[in-house]
Structure 1
């Protein structure tokens, strides 16, 4: 028994030593890996790059003054669901040859998230954990050319810029995310953590005006105002469509609806209790002083935006998995075996649920059919909510920095 315990501890120490190897923790190596993943995303060129064609269309339809939300079957399948401001973000990539535009777009997306994590203020061990843990999910989003990668970066930037008292830039990212894909509005969840709330509110107002008007530089005022009206109507219709969509609503909402087989109820029966559960930790004002508490609330936001949205799709899980990593690494106490097992469950099912690791009939008939990718992150979010409600996030002074590093591995 004693011999087996020694062997187990020896193996554990070996694993930790491997994970601490300089090559695996060098952020230049990790940047190279993420760059390779971006290049791998080009495998979808001329095979499944419909999303990039839609994104290009946002720019050209804005320039030509045609509807951003109409169907253009001669150009691409499906329709655009992003706000008029997106026309300026995609502009540099839309004017290039298709292959060059798509390549730079993928590099831009992965580079934006990599930089957001790098400049976030998270400890290096947390950053490295995110880079490795989210790599496969990043590739899924890159194959779909999806802006969800940038949404994860925008939410992270909103939080950490408020932490660093750069309210003007924090407001910029909150408004940018909101006017492009609505999701960015969750950055307002960090408002109470700001030390300069009046300044933040003022900058929010300024950037709302500036970014609302910005697309008029390549179109006209009347056109842009009309497109914002169309966008709102489009989003309302899209929400109804998503409820019963096979590829969308991969969320807690979709999980409950599909597993119960019930269709005759409003999602508000789940959303409203979820919002209450999300908001309750804000009552613990004495915990605001602890960075670990604030980071865990950031994790809650990243998870909530996927779990309670009918628009959640496979590429959106880069947002949720980033939140899962922050939850696991932010705690000032030692994570146990159950937390490690849950993270393994998250990685396998939520992170890799649509890959060939699972037989096709399992992926199609169970994981996709019942939105099971939402199950691990749902469990994690409820666990997180319990911790935010009852745990003390005061730093554990008894643990050395080295021991805290071990806790994250």
Structure 2
């Protein structure tokens, strides 16, 4: 390497570490994805979201199939308030702003983490490509990941009311948000946290009534439940673009569509819960971050509704797991991370041949690295002493 290159490389690294650069890159990704989809008239998901507001105002069933997008909504009625400012704008402008706001919420979550700025920057770079995948589908999962991170960060920072609010908001929009309760044992103000959560759920339950009616809101929650039950049944197919989960892998590899979710969920919950018995480790930030990583990955790999854009949630968990590992990182840790980046993050792209991409999709193999990393996290949380993990809390 020439002297000129040697002096240039550190400058590039310094630039890439800047928070402003991260925000600029993410906003640029949002604009690029929105432009491509808008020019190709490929924004059906955004139309579904938009009409959640209009159907709420018009007191129409939120979960029916409509000709405007020939699909059905699966988000809670609270989402009508979140999408309202965008629904009132022209589609062309609104979908750009929608993607930008989603990445800003994600970055808010990442930069709220109680770790060094350097490590937060690494997490943001690791998540960038998976974010782009979700942006092409105008996915709310990007912002939902941010809400999950915020619920963790504020609880760690002893701001229980804010944490409870983000858990309630995420849950009433998409049930994945409920996993924020996994951090309950990390707060000493448990009563305050519980009361704040109940208050937040009540307020968010009542708010949609301001643009609809009490009876419509209550009926919408009943309809939402039915739509999720139906969606769960429909997802368990051998060819759909969903069910990218541990159950989906087993169903598709075996060719048996009748393999039930129950045994997997029960086994997964048992494994997920085992580290809670290591109460003396709770005080270490590294242990808490490992639980955050476990929670984010668990949410996706044990959901039959998981599709490729959902993996922004799981990959945030992969990124957090990776930055928690002690330096210098062991060879197998780096190899496992690279395996995840290639098979999970790059599998939907044109970098891989179409035959390989189709094979990965057909057998839900995008989930495989995340399953292995999640099992690794559980093992590490059960065996290692996190006092030796030098995490700088900020």
Answer whether TM exceeds 0.5 for this pair. Answer: yes
Matched, 1:190 2:183: yes
- Provide Cα deviations, 1:144-170, integer angstroms capped at 9, x if missing partner: 000000111111011111001111111
Q: What corresponds to 1:254 in structure 2?
A: 248
Given the alignment, which residue of 129, 136, 139 partners 1:143? 136
Q: Is the 8 A contact 2:251 2:258 kept in 1?
A: no
Counterpart Cα distance in 1 of 2:94 and 2:258 = 44
SS at match of 2:387: coil
> Which residue of 2 is the match for residue 213 of structure 1?
206
Aligned to 2:196: 203
8 Å contact kept, 1:332–1:393:
no
- Which one of 104, 109, 116 corresponds to residue 111 of structure 1? 104
Gaps of 5+ in 1: 1-6, 8-13, 402-409
What does 1:326-365 align with in structure 2 at a 5 Å threshold? 326-332=320-326, 334-364=328-358
Match of 1:316 among 310, 318, 333: 310
1:145 is paired with a residue of what secondary structure?
coil
Q: Partners in 2 of 1:258 and 1:126 — Cα distance? A: 37
Matched residue, 2:65: 71
Equivalent in the alignment of 1:22: 14
| Structure 1 contact 83–180 (Cα < 8 Å) conserved | yes
Q: Is residue 39 from structure 1 mapped to residue 31 from structure 2 by the alignment? A: yes
TM-score by length of 1: 0.91
Aligned counterpart, 1:404: none
Gaps of 5+ in 2: none
The alignment partner of 1:394 has SS state of helix
Alignment of 1:9-408 (within 5 A): 18=10, 21-42=13-34, 43-45=36-38, 46-73=40-67, 75-244=68-237, 246-332=240-326, 334-364=328-358, 366-396=359-389
Query: Structure 1, residues 358-409: CA drift from partner, whole Å, max 9, x if none?
Result: 1122212x11100010011111111111001111100456x9x8xxxxxxxx
RMSD: 1.9
Give the TM-score normalised by structure 2.
0.94
Runs of 4+ residues deviating >3 angstroms: 17-20, 331-334
